Amino acid sequence: MMTRSRLTAAMFSTAGLEQVFSSQNTVARMLDVEAALARATAKEGLIAQQVVAPIVACCDVMQIDLPALAQAAGPAGNLAIPLVKQLTALVARSDPEAAKYVHWGATSQDVIDTGLILQLREALDLIVVELAEFADILAGLALHHRNTPMIARTWMQHALPTTFGLKVAGWLDAVLRHQERLAQLRSRLFVLQFGGAAGTLASFDDQGLTVASALAHELDLDLPELPWHTHRDRVAEVATVLGLLTGTLGKIARDISLHSQTEIAELSEPGGAGRGGSSTMPHKRNPVACAAALTAAMRVPPLVSTMLSAMVQEHERALGGWQAEWDTLPEIICLSGAALSQLRQAVSGLAVDAAKMRENIDSTRGLVMAEAISLALGKSIGRPAAHALLEQACQRALQNGLSLHQVLSDEPTVSTALTPTELSALFNPLAYAGEATGFVNRVLAAHQRRKAGFHFPEE
């Protein structure tokens, strides 16, 4: 049971992830493990085949008293203990003999951890699909604005011309790395947790590994080299990868929100009834998706820290560290998924004002082209002299309210080195965008390669 307010779930989670980590689905996945355990132990001859059906029939979350389960979990120390008691009682009503074999040879952590892995598989499949859709949207935006000039800003100040396509390609490039990380962790994460009370499977005599293999097969999970009760790098890796993703989403949200400021007005989130308004100011169009993503980017890092801290666990079974993960990891996933979903929707309808981008480039009356002109002039008079000349010219332009082009046109040294046509050409922002277009093309090509090797999770 997670602690976040259900009233804000639409802002800080998604409907799909809410379902994955709902109380009902949490218990359902644990019951999946219990049912699979019965089938696996019977397959290996450790329990009679005829007791399997009564056990499996009761591994139905609709038969579980969830309020009673939640009430009992506190004194018990985890959900599995009271769940097994309820399940055993249910089975006993129809088949007292079968009830003797419920939860045979397993320990509570086996059921809870493996149930969590099944939930993580569901959750990450949702995130992977949405991330792929987000990448497609970004690729389309980068392609469309590959040659749309805008001002680059360093230290929050105008720097040099760039293109909006290059900015979006930077977002996409990071997203591609997160896709790769999520793909890579699957083989390490989607594994069975099954070790019995102390991680030795002693309760199965010499058949522990065969039962474990059968159980992994039943659940379509890989069989790890050994149980991992107190080795939590697998779940910590999920947290850190999603922490990285949320950080990138926060960076994108920060960029969009800064470009949405009234004084800049280059971008704006899509509007609509009930979206981004103010309770008192009718003119407001607030970047609400950015706010949600930025909130997630602020909340997730401390939660990731909790997961990393929880890795330090005692001996073969943990006291406190394991329990600290229970609400923390679902919260990270829901926040990350919400940030992704919010930004995907916002970017899909992002309003881009190319004319305003050009107006902002020109707002300093050509000063941002000083470096380009200095380098061109330096070919004739040397770099130090050209730099000094442009520095003085910029100061005169600012002091007298003139454009840099006007000041340089009256400068004899410049007129000697550059024709009027050459000088004018140097004030074209796209002429000094360097490899912007090439970089965009490289990222778009990488995106296409990623798509060619990407397979959506099976329905």
What does the pLDDT look like over 171-228, one tens digit per residue?
A: 999 999 999 999 999 999 999 999 999 999 999 989 999 999 999 999 999 999 999 9
- At 160 the three-state DSSP class reads strand
Query: What is the reported pLDDT for 7?
Result: 76
Whether 459 is covered by a domain: the verdict is no
What is the domain range of residue 117? 6-358+440-452
| For residue 128, pLDDT beyond 60 | yes
- Residue owning tokens 């990071």: 174
User: pTM for this structure?
Assistant: 0.92
Same domain, 269 and 296: yes
Same domain, 160 and 233: yes
Query: What is the reported pLDDT for 183?
Result: 95
Whether 164 is covered by a domain: the verdict is yes
| For residue 344, pLDDT beyond 60 | yes
Same domain, 172 and 116: yes
Question: Choosing from 93, 177, 278, 363, which is the catalytic residue?
Answer: 278
CA–CA distances in Å: residue 142 to residues 269, 308, 339, 355, 436? 17, 36, 21, 17, 11
Tokens standing for residue 433: 């965008």
Same domain, 229 and 269: yes
What does the pLDDT look like over 349-387, one tens digit per residue?
A: 999 999 999 999 999 999 999 999 999 999 999 999 999
| For residue 168, pLDDT beyond 90 | yes
Return mean pLDDT, the chain.
93
Whether 457 is covered by a domain: the verdict is no
Whether 458 is covered by a domain: the verdict is no
Q: Lowest mean pLDDT: which of 80-84, 89-93, 219-223, 414-418?
A: 414-418
Residue 128 has φ and ψ, to the nearest 5°, of -60, -45
Same domain, 322 and 421: no
| For residue 459, pLDDT beyond 80 | no
Residue range 426-431: mean pLDDT, rounded: 94
| For residue 231, pLDDT beyond 60 | yes
| Residue 278 among the catalytic residues | yes
- Residue owning tokens 């293999």: 213
| For residue 126, pLDDT beyond 80 | yes
Query: What is the reported pLDDT for 457?
Result: 53
Same domain, 192 and 278: yes
Same domain, 299 and 387: no
CATH of the domain at 296: 1.20.200.10
Same domain, 160 and 292: yes
Residue 115: band (very low, low, confident or very high) from pLDDT cuts 50, 70, 90: very high
Residue 286: band (very low, low, confident or very high) from pLDDT cuts 50, 70, 90: confident
CATH of the domain at 373: 1.10.40.30
Number of domains in the chain: 2
| For residue 277, pLDDT beyond 70 | no
Whether 74 is covered by a domain: the verdict is yes
Cβ-based burial of 286 (10 A; exposed 0-12, middle 13-18, buried ≥19):
middle
In 3D space, the residue among 40, 451, 59, 21 whose CA is nearest the CA of residue 221 turns out to be: 40
Question: Choosing from 4, 153, 299, 317, which is the catalytic residue?
Answer: 317
Query: What is the reported pLDDT for 278?
Result: 44
Same domain, 348 and 371: no
- Residue owning tokens 């992830």: 17
| For residue 274, pLDDT beyond 90 | no
Same domain, 99 and 225: yes
Query: What is the reported pLDDT for 281?
Result: 44
Percent of the chain's residues with pLDDT above 90 = 91
Query: What is the reported pLDDT for 11?
Result: 80
| For residue 6, pLDDT beyond 50 | yes
Residue 316 has φ and ψ, to the nearest 5°, of -95, -20
Same domain, 122 and 183: yes
Residue pair 44/210 in contact (Cβ under 8 Å)? The answer is yes
Whether 101 is covered by a domain: the verdict is yes
Whether 434 is covered by a domain: the verdict is no
DSSP state at residue 368: G
Same domain, 263 and 189: yes
Query: What is the reported pLDDT for 10?
Result: 78
| For residue 2, pLDDT beyond 60 | no
161-170 per-residue burial string, b: 16 or more CB within 10 A, e: under 16: bbbbbbbbbb
Residue 3: band (very low, low, confident or very high) from pLDDT cuts 50, 70, 90: very low
